[in-house]
């Protein structure tokens, strides 16, 4: 999927009213065309009613680009049908998905026209949307709500993904900070969710589009290189495919074979992970072979084709992925192998049947289409019931929940075996303890160890695909706080937390009584208001933690002298201003200067106090955003900082748009990592270039040479990114230097 064309500036919107109406009708007819095979008697009229309702409801509304708003629901409906493979009811819901939230249309109106099922889905979509735009609520809470509605009807999440994809495709007309926030949420939760629903095409496009806004320079560089090497890659693919085709033709298979480039985002991930340049990413493209075979003969056909390919090209055995024998829980089935192609290049080959291919591209919707009536509970249903269980845990903080959800449900999977040989799917990183809880909560709670492949291991032992596990239990065992870091699945974490909470509750009773006595002596009582004030003051997650810490003497009630009682309510004697408000108030001040100046484009364009984030050490010229930090004012992060996506997606309302002002007076510390051939005088050449030619100050330098290769870490002071880029370019030109990279200095 080449994406250069998506990088072009969007055309300015300038249609007349008459042209606009024609365009709306044209788009509606296109939607009906793709929906045609799924229309039954009466469906066309229902879709028309939904369309007319949506046009009427949104008639005065415009998108940021100037287009009529109805373009958006039409586009979302089109994605639902064409790219996700959903049907008539989902189309109606997509057309109406914003009406209840944004217009005067009510759920009762929809119920009257379309009945209960459609109303329930739109209600789910509305619940999600009302939380998304409420800046005071954290995004994590929103995701939790999305997942609660997902378990009622998965179409809610599929329509939500279509909505998000269209928003990403039209993000150009949004402000920069909105682009960062939406892209971060997309890459943090929506793309992994699309992946987990089996929608690989959607996931890939979402990641690429997010990268276009989060790391525009790298996105453009890779897109340009992909475009430049297109002809040469096509030639190579044809050379690779030719002998495979000849063999398949002789074998009398009905098949398709083609090459497709890796997505920009996945190439960038490989470059980062393996620390290599674009040219060294060895499998820049994958060859896909899709065979048409009856369902009972699919596996056999795929393995036959695999043997043809590996007869001709030598495979890397450790790169074989067999999802035929054990499909992923989102229904994905395929054989992946990496083989050594002509000219010494590695090529990934994916082999699957037409049915498997449809499931890989349309995910959940295609999965339902092929679902057989059988005894075995469907893998998808298992996944949904696990999420329901995870959501069942009361008062899990949303941020914790989001973290657990990502590790538990959005991770890649491993498959392991019980002593009887039953298969269990678990997320990558799962331990023996996770396995124990996946069998039964009671077994997990009593687990003291395990035997993995007949060898004794501790409860925290990490499992690998293919392991066979037997759990050892003891009635004397019970969960402790130390167990939490040893688990990744939401089920295990929630059960452990529940047990710990019960323990805490028992101990906490004593703390509650002590607090009640103390408040009585101050002339007030333990009201909900006072409790909230104290929990906030002590920075604790819940009242239970407050009682518990008082009971175990970790909190000293003497500190209550910081409060005075006013009309039966506790108030802090100190100025009771939220720290976040203080930080935001700083943004309005004009007379503060510190270090280099940063221009803030927001309510005011004044220069304000700020600090640079230790996690990514930005320098002038870096693409940055400001983040209002409780108690610290404004912190500046690079947009590609390791913590950026989490901050932007979980606390988007605290983001401030920031841009550097030019200032050549002040230097900033940054780090370089170099690798190359350990040649005589190579260090001298490097230091000469940095200090002598470019007059850049070196703060520290460490070099290690091993078996003819050296690795160097250099800390230098630069004025801005331009100076750093010039240094990179000059260093790369030195003979023997293999790679030069910026690295984040430790705090």
Active site residue 725: no
Q: Are residues 46 and 133 in the same domain?
A: yes
Is the confidence at residue 471, as pLDDT, over 90?
yes
pLDDT at 561 (0 to 100)? 67
Q: Specify which of 519-523, 622-626, 628-632 reaches the highest per-range mean pLDDT.
A: 622-626
pLDDT value of residue 133:
43
What's the whole-number mean pLDDT along residues 307-313? 91
Which of these three, 612, 631, 660, is where a domain ends? 660
Q: What is the mean pLDDT of residues 53-60?
A: 88
Taking only the tens place, the pLDDT of each residue in 570-582 is 665 543 444 445 5
Whether residue 182 is predicted with pLDDT greater than 80 in this model: the reply is yes
Domain membership flag for residue 219: no
State the pLDDT confidence band at 664, using cuts at 50, 70 and 90. Answer: low
In this structure, the answer to whether residues 698 and 733 fall within a common structural domain is: yes
Percent of the chain with pLDDT over 70: 78
pLDDT for the residue numbered 3: 42
Residues 56 and 173 in one domain: yes
pLDDT score of 353 more than 50: yes
Q: 248 and 320: one domain?
A: yes
pLDDT band at 45 (very low <50, low <70, confident <90, very high): very high
* In the predicted structure, residue 1 carries a pLDDT above the cut 60: no
Catalytic residue flag (residue 568):
no
pLDDT at 610: 76
Average pLDDT of the residues of the chain? 79
169 and 300 part of one domain: no
Last residue of a domain, one of 335, 370, 405: 370
Which tens digit of pLDDT belongs to each residue from 505-518?
Answer: 888 888 888 888 88
251-308 pLDDT, tens digit per residue, is 888 899 988 778 888 888 888 877 777 777 766 778 999 999 998 899 999 999 999 9
- The pLDDT value recorded for residue 579 is 46
What's residue 640's pLDDT?
A: 83
pLDDT for 127 beyond 70:
no
**Interval 576-603 mean pLDDT:** 47
Domain presence at residue 730: yes
The more confidently predicted of residues 235 and 188 is 235
Residue 542 lies in a domain: yes
Written as six digits, the tokens of 536 are: 């906030």
Please check whether residues 14 and 152 belong to one and the same domain: yes
Residues 713 and 595 occupy one common structural domain: no
pLDDT score recorded for residue 380: 55
pLDDT digits (tens, 9 = 90+) for 14-28: 677 788 889 889 999
Report the alpha-carbon distance of residue 625 to residue 308 in Å, rounded. 52
Compare 717 and 365 and report the one with higher pLDDT: 717
Tell whether the model's pLDDT for residue 591 goes beyond 80. no
Residues 324 and 193 in one domain: no
How many Å apart are CA 282 and CA 424, to the nearest integer?
A: 33
Is residue 138 over pLDDT 60?
no
Dihedral sign, CA of 565, 567, 569, 574? Answer: negative
Q: Is residue 571 classed as helix, strand or coil in its secondary structure?
A: strand
Residue 435 has pLDDT above 90, yes or no: yes
In this structure, is residue 539 part of a structural domain? yes
> In which domain, by residue range, is 546 found?
498-572
Looking at residues 532-559, what average pLDDT do you find?
Answer: 79
Residue 497 predicted with pLDDT over 90: no
Least confident of 220-224, 369-373, 660-664: 369-373
Nearest to 745 by CA among 642, 691, 669: 669
Q: Which of 7, 101, 378, 389 is catalytic?
A: 101
- At 64, is the pLDDT very low, low, confident or very high (cuts 50, 70, 90)? confident
Residue 469 lies in a domain: no
CATH number at residue 712: 3.30.70.260
Q: Looking only at Cα atoms, what is the longest distance across the chain?
A: 93
**Domain-located, residue 436:** no
67 plus 177 within the same structural domain: yes
Looking at residue 45, which CATH number applies to its domain? 1.10.3210.10
For residue 6, pLDDT beyond 50:
no
- Of these ranges, 178-192, 440-454, 613-627, 649-663, the one predicted with the greatest mean pLDDT is 440-454
pLDDT score of 335: 92
Residue 484 lies in a domain: no
Nearest to 73 by CA among 166, 153, 182, 178: 166
| pLDDT for the residue 168 | 93
Q: Are residues 248 and 279 in the same domain?
A: yes
**With bands split at pLDDT 50, 70 and 90, how would you rate the model's confidence at 587?**
very low
Residue with tokens 């003891």: 474
173 three-state secondary structure:
helix
The residue that leads in pLDDT, 660 or 112, is 112
Tell me how many domains the chain contains. Answer: 5
What is the share, in percent, of the chain residues with pLDDT greater than 90?
Answer: 17
Which CA distances in Å does 348 have to 320, 326, 335, 457? Answer: 10, 20, 10, 36
| Boundary (domain end) residue, out of 180, 214, 248 | 214
| Sign of the alpha-carbon dihedral angle for 191, 193, 196, 201 | negative
Q: Which pLDDT score, from 0 to 100, does residue 352 have?
A: 93
587 shares a domain with 566: no
> CB of 491 within 8 A of CB of 386?
yes
Per residue, the 3-state secondary structure of 507-540, as one string, reads HHHHHHHHHHHHHHHHCCCCCHHHHHHHHHHCCC
The encoded tokens of residue 730 equal: 């000059």
Sign of CA dihedral 388, 393, 394, 396: negative
Weakest-pLDDT range from 427-431, 518-522, 695-699: 518-522
Spell 692-709 as b/e; 16+ CB within 10 A means b.
eeeebeeeebeeeeeeee
Quote the pLDDT of residue 601: 47
The answer on pLDDT for 551 being more than 80 is yes
Angle at CA of residue 631, ends 630 and 633, nearest 5°:
85
Confidence of residue 384 (pLDDT cuts 50, 70, 90): low
- Give a yes or no: residue 375 inside a domain: no
Task: Map tokens 């910081």 to a residue.
Answer: 562
* Catalytic option among 43, 102, 378, 503: 102
Residues 17 and 149 in one domain: yes
Tell me the CATH number at 236. 3.30.460.10
Q: 74-90, pLDDT tens digit by residue? A: 999 999 988 888 888 88
pLDDT of the residue at 590:
36
CA–CA distances in Å: residue 464 to residues 25, 79, 302, 427, 433: 55, 37, 25, 10, 13
């Amino acid at each position: 999927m080449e994406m250069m064309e998506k990088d072009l500036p969007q055309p300015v919107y300038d249609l007349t009213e008459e042209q606009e109406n024609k365009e709306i009708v044209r788009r509606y007819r296109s939607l009906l065309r793709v929906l045609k095979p799924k229309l039954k008697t009466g469906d066309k009229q229902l879709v028309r009613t939904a369309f007319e309702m949506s046009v009427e409801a949104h008639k005065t509304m415009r998108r940021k680009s100037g287009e009529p708003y109805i373009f958006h629901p039409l586009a979302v409906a089109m994605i639902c049908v064409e790219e996700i493979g959903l049907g008539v009811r989902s189309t109606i819901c997509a057309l109406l998905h914003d009406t209840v939230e944004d217009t005067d249309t009510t759920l009762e109106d929809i119920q009257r026209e379309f009945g209960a099922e459609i109303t329930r889905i739109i209600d789910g979509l509305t619940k999600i949307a009302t939380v998304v735009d409420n800046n005071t609520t954290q995004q994590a809470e929103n995701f939790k709500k999305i997942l609660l509605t997902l378990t009622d009807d998965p179409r809610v999440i599929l329509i939500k993904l279509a909505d998000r994809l269209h928003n990403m495709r039209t993000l150009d007309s949004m402000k920069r900070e909105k682009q960062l926030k939406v892209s971060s949420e997309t890459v943090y939760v929506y793309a992994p969710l699309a992946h987990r629903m089996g929608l690989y095409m959607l996931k890939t496009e979402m990641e690429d589009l997010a990268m276009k806004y989060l790391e525009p320079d790298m996105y453009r560089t890779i897109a340009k290189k992909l475009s430049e090497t297109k002809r040469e890659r096509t030639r190579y693919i044809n050379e690779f495919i030719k002998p495979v085709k000849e063999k398949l033709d002789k074998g009398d298979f009905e098949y398709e074979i083609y090459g497709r480039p890796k997505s920009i985002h996945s190439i960038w991930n490989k470059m980062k992970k393996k620390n290599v340049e674009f040219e060294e990413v060895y499998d820049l493209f994958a060859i896909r072979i899709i065979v048409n075979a009856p369902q009972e003969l699919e596996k056999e056909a795929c393995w036959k084709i695999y043997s043809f390919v590996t007869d001709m090209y030598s495979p890397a055995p450790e790169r074989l992925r067999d999802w035929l024998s054990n499909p992923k829980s989102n229904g994905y089935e395929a054989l992946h192998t990496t083989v050594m192609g002509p000219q010494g290049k590695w090529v990934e080959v994916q082999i699957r049947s037409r049915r498997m291919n449809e499931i890989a591209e349309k995910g959940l919707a295609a999965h339902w289409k092929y679902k057989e009536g059988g005894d075995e509970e469907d893998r998808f249903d298992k996944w949904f019931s696990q999420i329901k269980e995870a959501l069942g845990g009361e008062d899990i903080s949303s941020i914790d929940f989001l973290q657990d959800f990502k590790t538990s449900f959005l991770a890649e999977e491993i498959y392991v075996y019980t002593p009887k040989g039953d298969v269990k799917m678990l997320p990558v990183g799962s331990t023996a303890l996770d396995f124990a809880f996946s069998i039964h909560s009671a077994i997990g709670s009593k687990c003291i160890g395990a035997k993995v492949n007949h060898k004794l291991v501790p409860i925290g032992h990490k499992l690998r695909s293919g392991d066979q596990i037997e759990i050892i239990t003891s009635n004397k065992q019970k969960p402790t706080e130390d167990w939490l870091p040893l688990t990744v699945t939401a089920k295990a974490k929630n059960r452990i937390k529940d047990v710990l909470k019960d323990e805490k509750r028992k101990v906490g009773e004593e703390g509650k009584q002590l607090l009640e006595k103390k408040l009585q002596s101050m002339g007030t009582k333990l009201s909900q208001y006072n409790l909230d004030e104290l929990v906030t003051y002590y920075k604790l997650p819940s009242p239970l933690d407050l009682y518990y810490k008082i009971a175990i003497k970790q909190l000293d009630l003497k500190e209550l002298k910081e409060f005075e009682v006013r009309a039966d309510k506790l108030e802090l004697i100190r100025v009771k201003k939220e720290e976040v408000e203080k930080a935001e108030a700083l943004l309005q001040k004009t007379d503060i200067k510190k270090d280099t100046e940063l221009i803030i484009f927001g309510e005011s364009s004044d220069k304000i106090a700020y600090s640079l984030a230790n996690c990514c050490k930005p320098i002038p010229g870096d693409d940055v955003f400001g983040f209002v930090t409780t108690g610290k004012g404004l912190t500046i992060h690079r947009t590609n900082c390791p913590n950026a996506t989490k901050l932007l997606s979980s606390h988007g309302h605290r983001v401030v748009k920031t841009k550097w002002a030019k200032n050549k007076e002040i230097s900033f510390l940054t780090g370089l990592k170099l690798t190359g051939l350990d040649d005589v005088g190579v260090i001298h050449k490097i230091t000469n270039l940095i200090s002598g030619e470019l007059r850049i100050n070196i703060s520290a330098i460490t070099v290690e040479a091993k078996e003819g290769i050296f690795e160097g870490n250099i800390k230098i002071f630069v004025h801005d990114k331009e100076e750093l880029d010039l240094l990179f370019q000059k260093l790369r030109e030195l003979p023997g230097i293999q790679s030069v990279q910026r690295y984040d200095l430790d705090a």
